[in-house]
Amino acid sequence: MPSNKNRLYITLYPSGVANNEERKYHWGFLIGPKAEGKDVIPGASYHVKNSPFGWTYEEIPLENVQTTIRLLARILIAKIEDEQRLITLLRRLPVVQGDSNWRCRTWVASALAEIAKDGKCVGTAELDWQKIEACARRYVGDKTASGRYRSAADLSKPKPTWDMLENKESVP
């Protein structure tokens, strides 16, 4: 019997710090459905952001997971087994203040470690931060080099998506 469980993605957005390779992207998570077609595909984004008041955790409902304007790419990393458990885990992660080395990327790496330790919120998954980060940087770098983000028309297209579970591109 085929599974239609929601999927967990790593998301990359431009950070505004283009001259620093390590801080070039803003990192987060996205939850969306397995089946994606041409219709509107709702989901949600989960991340931490730095504001004048410090780091804050944010959950944002998305009307369409494929066409979020600022999104550069999605990296599929897991099939979700227990979505509420996963969301609860993300909500409980520490949001560190006053540490200049802590940022969104640190939070994502910490979340992946906690998801792996939990062992119940996701099934088939790639949760190794070093593999995910290398894959995501390479994928977005290749898309940038090929001109994928140059025109305004490209920003409204479905976003490039790499499937780490099947090691293939699923949305060009």
Q: Using one digit for the tens of pLDDT, what is the confidence trace for 66-122?
A: 878 889 999 999 999 999 999 999 999 999 999 989 999 999 999 999 999 999 999
Least confident of 16-30, 57-71, 80-94: 16-30
140 φ, ψ (degrees, to nearest 5)? -65, -35
Rg (CA), the chain: 15
Whole-number Å distance between alpha carbons of 68 and 6: 18
Helix (H, G, I), strand (E, B) or coil at 102: coil
> Which of these, 84, 73, 88, lies nearest to 157 by C-alpha position?
73
Write the single-letter amino acid at 18.
A
pLDDT for 31: 96
pLDDT for 1: 42
Report whether 13 contacts 26 (CB < 8 A): yes
Percentage of residues of the chain with pLDDT beyond 90: 70
Helix residue ranges, H only, 37-128: 83-92, 104-118
Say yes or no to pLDDT of 25 above 90. Answer: yes
Which of the four pLDDT bands, split at 50, 70 and 90, describes residue 3? low
Q: Which helix (H) or strand (E) holds 141?
A: helix 129-145
User: pTM of the entire structure?
Assistant: 0.93
- State the chain's mean pLDDT as an integer: 91
